Amino acid sequence: MKTNQADVLVVGKGLIGSAAAKHLSATGKKVIITGPDEPDDYEHAAIFSSHYDQARVQRLIGKDEAWTRLNVESANAYSFIEKESGIRFHTPVGCLYVNPHQRDEYLQHAPALATQYKTSPVYFDKTENLRTAFPDFQFPQEANGMFEPGPSGYINPRLLLKPQLHLFRENRGMESSQTIHSLSEDNGVYTAVADDGTLFHASSVVLAPGSFANFFPLSPRKPAMQAKSEVVLLARLSEDEIERLKNLPSLLYEINTPELDGIYLLPPVEYPDGETYLKLGCNMPEDIYFNTLEEVQDWFRHGDSEALAGKIRQALYTLMPALEADSFITKRCIISRTEHGRPYIGSMDGKGLWLFPNF
């Protein structure tokens, strides 16, 4: 049986795990990160992730002070990571936040956070001004909004993983692709058992399995979080549409209707198939709240995301009536939410087991 020894074992090779591993390896500790890479074929994959995509919205002002600090510190690190690695993953096209119904709590708190964190958003309390500044979107009469210029915009999560792991390897970090199936502690030493029986021994463990935190016996207590399905719609664009929409910012649209809520929209982005797509995602009443890993696997392999395509397409055309898309596809995703709406960052056992899942 293969055995690996480390000071710190990081479980989960996603956005959080790769960042944590890079920082830990810079301290001179022996660090191992383990987790499966993106599968080519979902049919034969056992676990998935939230980052298998080309774009994630980046904003600065968050729901509260904690989120704002995390957003600002992340964005501040991007240029350094890009320079060190030579890999570009950040596109600072700006981020527009709009509430179509009212000037909500987020917009009311934004000016104080902007002052505290020295950011310079532009506020829109008149729909006419919003429409003039962003003519590609159609907002209703009561809409209020805020535009944050770069470094807000979007990042490519697949690409961000590469420099993080590249810098980790430069610090002599070790990488494995095993999935951890169980974790135990005895006398200050943690033992993790991988899917092929490989053992990892470490004096500290960082858990960063994202939405999968509750699907393996990795911690003495379960974090209070729920994992749910999400469907995104990709609208394939012609060269003319790509050119017409090339200055579009990322959009967070706080719509709340019985059909859907919380739209996020990404400007035209190139995907691995060589095509360029505009992406829209949202929450829907049909989203599935997962209780078991088997339910997640079933969703990724055979979930009927196409059944929701019509509703999402309608929302997209309501928002962008002039859009001309050549075709549409849907993608099946997983996200998670903690009970308090903030990320968990802390010790799980008062000793060496640390949790860093997503929100």
Ligand X SMILES: Cc1cc2nc3c(=O)[nH]c(=O)nc-3n(C[C@H](O)[C@H](O)[C@H](O)COP(=O)(O)OP(=O)(O)OC[C@H]3O[C@@H](n4cnc5c(N)ncnc54)[C@H](O)[C@@H]3O)c2cc1C
* Of residues 42 and 216, the one with the C-beta less far from ligand X: 216
CA-based torsion, 56, 100, 334, 207: positive or negative: positive
* Of residues 127 and 262, the one with the C-beta less far from ligand X: 262
* Of residues 121 and 357, the one with the C-beta less far from ligand X: 357
For the bound state, the minimum distance from the C-beta of residue 152 to ligand X, rounded and expressed in Å, comes to 11
Report whether 53 contacts 148 (CB < 8 A).
Answer: no
- Dig out the tokens for 123 from the structure: 């506020």
CA-based torsion, 9, 13, 19, 22: positive or negative: positive
DSSP 178: P
For the bound state, the minimum distance from the C-beta of residue 281 to ligand X, rounded and expressed in Å, comes to 5
Q: Determine the Cα angle at 19 with ends 13 and 25, to 5°.
A: 95
CA distances from 122 to 117, 130, 149 (A): 15, 10, 8
* Of residues 38 and 125, the one with the C-beta less far from ligand X: 38
* Of residues 110 and 296, the one with the C-beta less far from ligand X: 296
* Of residues 307 and 322, the one with the C-beta less far from ligand X: 307
- Cβ-based neighbour number of residue 38 at 10 Å: 12
For the bound state, the minimum distance from the C-beta of residue 96 to ligand X, rounded and expressed in Å, comes to 13
DSSP 44: G
For the bound state, the minimum distance from the C-beta of residue 282 to ligand X, rounded and expressed in Å, comes to 10
- Dig out the tokens for 59 from the structure: 């904003």
For the bound state, the minimum distance from the C-beta of residue 3 to ligand X, rounded and expressed in Å, comes to 17
For the bound state, the minimum distance from the C-beta of residue 343 to ligand X, rounded and expressed in Å, comes to 8
* Of residues 64 and 131, the one with the C-beta less far from ligand X: 64
* Of residues 134 and 253, the one with the C-beta less far from ligand X: 253
Report whether 281 contacts 233 (CB < 8 A).
Answer: yes
* Of residues 62 and 352, the one with the C-beta less far from ligand X: 62
* Residues 154, 152: Cα–Cα separation, whole Å: 7
- Dig out the tokens for 86 from the structure: 């030579």
Nearest to 98 by CA among 70, 67, 56, 126: 126
For the bound state, the minimum distance from the C-beta of residue 119 to ligand X, rounded and expressed in Å, comes to 16
Residues 6+ apart with CB under 8 A from 331: 53, 231, 232, 234, 305
Q: Are strands 180-186 and 174-176 parallel, antiparallel or unpaired?
A: unpaired
Instruction: Map residue 82 onto helix, strand or coil.
Output: helix
Which residue's Cβ has the minimum distance to ligand X? 14
For the bound state, the minimum distance from the C-beta of residue 287 to ligand X, rounded and expressed in Å, comes to 11
For the bound state, the minimum distance from the C-beta of residue 239 to ligand X, rounded and expressed in Å, comes to 26
* Residues 148, 114: Cα–Cα separation, whole Å: 10
Instruction: Using CB under 6 A, list all residues that contact ligand X.
Output: 11-17, 34-36, 47, 49-51, 56-57, 157, 179-180, 208-212, 216, 230, 232, 264, 281, 333-335, 357-358
